């Protein structure tokens, strides 16, 4: 098995799989995309019709608190920055007004409080 190279982004809280990556830029873990593999280890199988969206919009990020199980339709809608900017709470219910962390390059929006909690769990 290819060794996974993962770096942590201390500013945005991402866990970025630098290599291996697939053609679309997703991090790979064995034969599976790394974010899906990481999710399944904790939450189990992903239901049919559901997708794992990246709140940070970085395809090679596998930080669990940046992943969101959503319908395909919602995943597409969430790619719109305008929609993200209107969010009142993060998926865990933190107020986005005070916890919003914007990742400008990708247009992602993550929650500062979730980032903090993930850091403390390590
Ligand atoms: Zn991320
Ligand atoms: Zn949060």
pLDDT digits (tens, 9 = 90+) for 67-89: 999 999 988 888 887 788 889 99
pLDDT digits (tens, 9 = 90+) for 1-22: 678 999 999 999 999 999 999 9
Q: What is the mean pLDDT of the chain?
A: 93
Ligand 1 geometric centre to CA of 13 (Å): 6
Distance CA 46, CA 25 (A): 21
Q: In this structure, are residues 109 and 101 in contact, taking their beta carbons and an 8 Å threshold?
A: yes
pLDDT digits (tens, 9 = 90+) for 90-107: 999 999 999 999 998 888
Closest residue by Cα to residue 8 from 55, 66, 68, 81: 66
The answer on pLDDT for 122 being more than 80 is no
What's the predicted TM-score (pTM) here? 0.91
Output the six-digit token pair for 54.
Answer: 């990246």
Q: Where are the domains of the chain?
A: 5-121
Ligand 2 geometric centre to CA of 82 (Å): 19
């Amino acid at each position: 098995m290819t060794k996974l190279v993962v770096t942590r982004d201390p500013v945005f809280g991402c866990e970025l799989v630098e290599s291996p990556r697939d053609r679309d830029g997703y991090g790979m873990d064995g034969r599976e995309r790394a974010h899906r593999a990481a999710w399944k280890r904790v939450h189990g199988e992903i239901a049919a019709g559901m997708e794992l969206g990246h709140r940070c919009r970085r395809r090679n990020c596998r930080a669990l608190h940046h992943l969101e199980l959503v319908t395909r339709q919602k995943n597409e809608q969430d790619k719109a920055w305008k929609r993200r900017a209107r969010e009142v709470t993060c998926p865990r219910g933190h107020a986005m007004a005070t916890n919003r962390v914007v990742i400008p390059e990708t247009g992602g929006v993550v929650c500062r409080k979730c980032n903090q909690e993930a850091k403390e769990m390590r």
